[in-house]
Amino acid sequence: MKLICSKENLMEGINIVQKAVSTKTTLPILEGILLEADDRLKMTGNDLEIGIECYVDADVKRKGSIVLNSKMLGDIVRRLPDAEVLLDVKENNSVVIECESSLFEIRGIASEGFPALPSLEKEDGIKISQKLIKDIIKQTIFAVSVDENRPILTGSLFEYKNGHLSIVSIDGYRLALRTVASEFAVQDRNIVIPGKTLNEISKIIQPVDEELTIYTTNNQILFDMGNCIMVSRLLEGEYLNYMGIIPKEHETKINVNTKELLACFERASLVITNDERRYPVKLDIKDDMMIITSNTEIGNAREEIRLEMDGKELEISFNPRYFIEALRVIENEAVSISFTSNIGPCIIRPLQGDAFVYLVLPIRK
């Protein structure tokens, strides 16, 4: 294999496929990137849970393939001059990397042992803009559980039903639900995508209107972005009935400015430096006013915010981080927050419609 490629293109490809390279493995080949040169350069990373293929424009002088250690290749290319890079595979899998006055010779691994990505039939795909899917992942991923004792909750439910796409994340203390209406001519589906997969795909896709296509089988999902694809396993098991968790009734309801409320929570949490469950923020809602207080061993904070209120006066305590992470991803100027009681969950919604729902459980003192 012999090719010439710009440093920029080569580095872009490495950065993308490195997201699927294993960092904890006893198999050296899984720590590598597969490079295959034909009419252009194809780069592949595969940690057996996530696989990424990316095509890079290159001037191929001689076809072939090799596996190179991902970290070493990335570190070398990153520090090369901004110029054309020559990759030349010699005998015994030795690889020469040359750029202007820089020259490296590193040992590669034969490509035959590199695991192939799972093959999915590209049928019944859902087309969606990259910007939209990037946004709805961002607006739900923070509520994915990290508790391996409940593996199904370490992923997000991806549900397409009646022309609506919903993504749901639940970690046992909160729920994040984002719904978009779009008439895809495809079958309804209900799958659970690992949080790791969603984190990595959100780093690859761009905030542009160009579409990507999502294909699924019973145990695999494929994101097709044209020059790049990602394949991932899906989580097995039954996801929680999230609609049964969301209360239908409330005792107290407020409408409040999103950014102002976020700023109040952020300031009130400044004196909370360690255990957020031991030191929650307390909300006192009455007379179209919310008083937010926090009291810890190092100090106290008090915030007041005006709002529209309907229902009973209420005192309730929350982990401030759960509110902050939800409010940060809401783009609406104002939100509606419903409280069932001082020990029940609260629900954050838009003033109109059902584009998002955030549920937060209170802390019982």
| Residues 28, 135 share a domain | no
Last residue of a domain, one of 243, 274, 302: 243
Q: Which of 161, 222, 150, 152 is nearest to 194 (CA)?
A: 152
- The answer on pLDDT for 362 being more than 90 is yes
DSSP state of 103: E
Q: Give the pair of three-digit tokens for residue 104.
A: 């490296």
CA–CA separation, 344 and 346 (whole Å): 7
| Residues 348, 324 share a domain | yes
> pLDDT over 70 for what percent of the chain?
98
* 40: in domain: yes
| Residues 215, 145 share a domain | yes
Report CA 177 to chain centroid distance, whole Å.
14
Is residue 140 within 8 Å of residue 169, measured between CB atoms? Answer: yes
> Average pLDDT for residues 41-68, to the nearest whole number?
96
Containing structural domain, residue 33: 2-113
- The answer on pLDDT for 182 being more than 80 is no
| Residues 237, 261 share a domain | no
Q: What is the pLDDT of residue 220?
A: 94
Q: What is the pLDDT of residue 187?
A: 78
Total tally of structural domains belonging to the chain: 3
Name the band, by pLDDT with cuts 50, 70 and 90, for residue 277: low
* 120: in domain: no
* 12: in domain: yes
C-beta neighbour count of 292 within 10 angstroms: 23
Q: What is the pLDDT of residue 185?
A: 65
DSSP assignment string, 169-214: EE-SSEEEEEEEE---SS--EEEEEEHHHHHHHHHHS-SSS-EEEE
Which residue has better confidence, 148 or 285? 285
Q: What is the pLDDT of residue 120?
A: 87
- Three-state SS for 105? strand
| Residues 67, 24 share a domain | yes
| Residues 168, 101 share a domain | no
The span from the first CA to the last CA of the chain, in angstroms, equals 66
| Residues 300, 211 share a domain | no
Last residue of a domain, one of 243, 276, 292: 243
* 365: in domain: no
Is residue 93 within 8 Å of residue 66, measured between CB atoms? Answer: yes
Name the band, by pLDDT with cuts 50, 70 and 90, for residue 184: low
- The answer on pLDDT for 231 being more than 90 is yes
| Residues 345, 257 share a domain | yes
pTM comes to 0.91
Taking every pair of C-alpha atoms in the chain, what is the biggest distance, in angstroms? 80
| Residues 282, 331 share a domain | yes
The model's pLDDT over 140-159, given as tens digits with 9 standing for 90+, comes to 999 999 998 999 999 999 99
Mean pLDDT of the chain: 93
CA–CA separation, 26 and 28 (whole Å): 6
| Residues 11, 93 share a domain | yes
Q: What is the pLDDT of residue 88?
A: 97
Q: Which residue has the tokens 């952020």?
A: 266
Distance (Å) of CA 257 to CA 96, 164, 263, 328: 59, 28, 10, 12
| Residues 75, 20 share a domain | yes
Q: Please report, for the domain that includes residue 296, its CATH number.
A: 3.10.150.10
Distance (Å) of CA 55 to CA 31, 155, 175, 227, 244: 19, 28, 37, 5, 44
* 150: in domain: yes
Tally of CA atoms within 13 A in the half-sphere of 54 that contains its CB = 21
Last residue of a domain, one of 187, 219, 243: 243
* 118: in domain: no
| Residues 282, 199 share a domain | no
Amino acid at 214: I
> Average pLDDT for residues 168-179, to the nearest whole number?
96
The model's pLDDT over 187-213, given as tens digits with 9 standing for 90+, comes to 788 999 999 999 999 999 988 889 999
The model's pLDDT over 324-343, given as tens digits with 9 standing for 90+, comes to 999 999 999 999 999 999 99
* 169: in domain: yes
CA–CA separation, 295 and 279 (whole Å): 7
* 119: in domain: no
- The answer on pLDDT for 365 being more than 70 is no
The model's pLDDT over 98-141, given as tens digits with 9 standing for 90+, comes to 999 999 999 999 999 999 998 888 888 888 899 999 999 999 99
Q: What is the pLDDT of residue 121?
A: 85
- The answer on pLDDT for 183 being more than 70 is no
